[in-house]
């Protein structure tokens, strides 16, 4: 028996919408001369880590548009910041973006580009040799109802296992913040976790761990491609400052190209930025592995967004949602046309 989805996120978002009217005047400033970008200290957000650290995004925006940044550790916090006008754009996972779209009734945000696909999977203890060994184990995900949480719960659903949101069922799914997962694993509190990079590779570096489920293998219909990170912009900011958004997208596209052209250098740059914002560098080999395990692309992999939303709804973690209009890809396609590159499609394209 499934437990109804938690309403705290929906309530928080709804209250924020009422209070702010989805405006972005606070982040934009009275003269419209700035852009505040939010992102996570995850390597699946490397287009922001690299683009901010090496100055590509700032240069693309130009001298008249001040680039400001904010670091987040959860999708709902970043979505709330978009709603309240504290930030104008953000790197977001698909589920937070869909939740924000749904709770604002399509008024608060639009996905303007892809950023990353892949880079996720299930790492478990060495003595868990096959999927059939999973019942009775305790597994972590970054956040209840988040992208990796839905992935693990859907995987369990496909095995025919009942799993609830209180940690009960055939497997116990216990969401916890990524920085806590490694200690929980070492202490024996969990048997594994479904994680994004670099946390995936960090857990894999433990002597008694191995990758049990490589998530790209679960997406044969899309050639293993599924969205991990999108670039999202507040709807009001997009309406008021389309030129700034196009400039941001030029920098974003240039950064993604640079990561793919020289992943080693990109890893070094991302690691330097992680050190600057969190006070610690990651092992260089781990960063290289994480970058290699992730595909960076401006293509939003739109069909996988819809599949993820449908899975979340089937798991009672999200109400059924109409995603028509969530993508606003014309600015990106304008940038790609400037470079004689193929356009990308959303769900309507």
pLDDT tens sequence across 62-72: 999 999 999 99
Range of the domain at 149: 120-222
Tell me what percent of the residues of the chain surpass a pLDDT of 70. 91
The pLDDT value recorded for residue 342 is 96
Q: Judge if 70 and 31 occupy the same domain.
A: yes
Query: For the residues 40-54, what does the mean pLDDT come to?
Result: 96
What letters, b where the CB count within 10 A reaches 16 and e where it falls short, cover 240-254?
A: bbeebbbbbbbbbbb
Residue 205 lies in a domain: yes
Q: Which of 332, 291, 348 is nearest to 49 (CA)?
A: 291
Please tell me which residue, 90 or 73, carries the higher pLDDT value. 90
The pLDDT value recorded for residue 67 is 98
Query: Residue 71 CB: number of other CB atoms within 10 A?
Result: 13
Query: For the residues 116-136, what does the mean pLDDT come to?
Result: 97
Last residue of a domain, one of 194, 222, 250: 222
Residue 349 lies in a domain: no
The pLDDT value recorded for residue 120 is 96
Last residue of a domain, one of 222, 256, 277: 222
- Read off the pLDDT of residues 197-243 as tens digits, 9 standing for 90 and up: 999 999 999 999 999 999 999 999 889 999 999 999 999 999 999 99
The pLDDT value recorded for residue 15 is 33
The pLDDT value recorded for residue 149 is 94
Query: Residue 16 CB: number of other CB atoms within 10 A?
Result: 21
Q: Judge if 194 and 275 occupy the same domain.
A: no
The pLDDT value recorded for residue 177 is 87
Query: For the residues 118-146, what does the mean pLDDT come to?
Result: 96
Q: Judge if 165 and 209 occupy the same domain.
A: yes
The pLDDT value recorded for residue 179 is 83
How confident is residue 187, by pLDDT bands cut at 50, 70 and 90?
A: very high
CATH number for position 275: 3.40.190.10
Integer distance in angstroms from the first to the last C-alpha of the chain?
38
Look up residue 163 and give its DSSP letter: B
- Read off the pLDDT of residues 308-339 as tens digits, 9 standing for 90 and up: 999 999 999 989 999 999 999 999 999 999 99
Q: Judge if 80 and 202 occupy the same domain.
A: no
Query: For the residues 164-187, what does the mean pLDDT come to?
Result: 94
Is the pLDDT at 9 greater than 60? The verdict is no
Q: Considering the chain, what is the average pLDDT of its residues?
A: 90
Residues 6+ apart with CB under 8 A from 6: 144, 145, 165
Q: Judge if 113 and 245 occupy the same domain.
A: yes
The pLDDT value recorded for residue 32 is 54
The pLDDT value recorded for residue 178 is 85
Last residue of a domain, one of 222, 249, 282: 222
Q: Judge if 210 and 173 occupy the same domain.
A: yes
The pLDDT value recorded for residue 6 is 39
The pLDDT value recorded for residue 265 is 97
The pLDDT value recorded for residue 33 is 76
Alpha-carbon 219 to chain mean position = 17
């Amino acid at each position: 028996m499934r437990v109804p989805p938690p309403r705290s996120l929906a309530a928080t978002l709804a209250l924020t919408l009422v209070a702010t009217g989805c405006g972005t005047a606070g982040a934009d400033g009275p003269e419209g001369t700035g852009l505040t970008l939010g992102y996570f200290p995850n390597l699946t957000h490397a287009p922001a880590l690299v683009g901010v650290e090496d100055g590509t995004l700032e240069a693309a925006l130009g001298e008249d548009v001040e680039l400001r940044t904010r670091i987040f550790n959860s999708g709902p916090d970043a979505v709330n910041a978009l709603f309240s006008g504290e930030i104008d754009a953000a790197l977001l996972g698909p589920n937070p973006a869909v939740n924000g779209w749904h709770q604002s009734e399509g008024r608060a945000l639009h996905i303007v580009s892809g950023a990353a696909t892949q880079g996720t999977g299930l790492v478990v203890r060495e003595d868990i040799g096959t999927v059939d060994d999973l019942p009775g184990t305790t597994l972590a995900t970054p956040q209840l109802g988040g992208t990796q949480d839905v992935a693990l719960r859907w995987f369990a659903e496909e095995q025919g296992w009942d799993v609830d949101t209180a940690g009960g069922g055939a497997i116990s799914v216990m969401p916890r913040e990524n920085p806590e997962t490694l200690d929980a694993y070492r202490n024996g509190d969990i048997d594994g976790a479904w994680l994004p990079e670099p946390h995936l590779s960090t857990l894999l570096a433990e002597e008694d761990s191995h990758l049990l489920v490589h998530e790209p293998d679960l997406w044969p219909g899309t050639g293993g491609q599924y969205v991990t990170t999108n670039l999202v912009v507040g709807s009001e900011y997009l309406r008021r400052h389309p030129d700034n958004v196009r400039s941001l997208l030029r920098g974003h596209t240039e950064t993604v190209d640079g990561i793919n052209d020289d992943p080693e250098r990109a890893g070094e740059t991302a690691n330097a930025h992680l050190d600057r914002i969190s006070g610690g560098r990651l092992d260089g080999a781990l960063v290289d592995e994480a970058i290699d395990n992730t595909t960076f692309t401006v293509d939003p992999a739109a069909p996988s967004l819809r599949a993820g939303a449908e899975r979340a709804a089937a798991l009672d973690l999200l109400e059924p949602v109409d995603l028509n209009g969530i993508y606003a890809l014309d600015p990106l396609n304008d940038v790609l046309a400037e470079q004689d590159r193929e356009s990308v499609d959303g769900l309507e394209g």
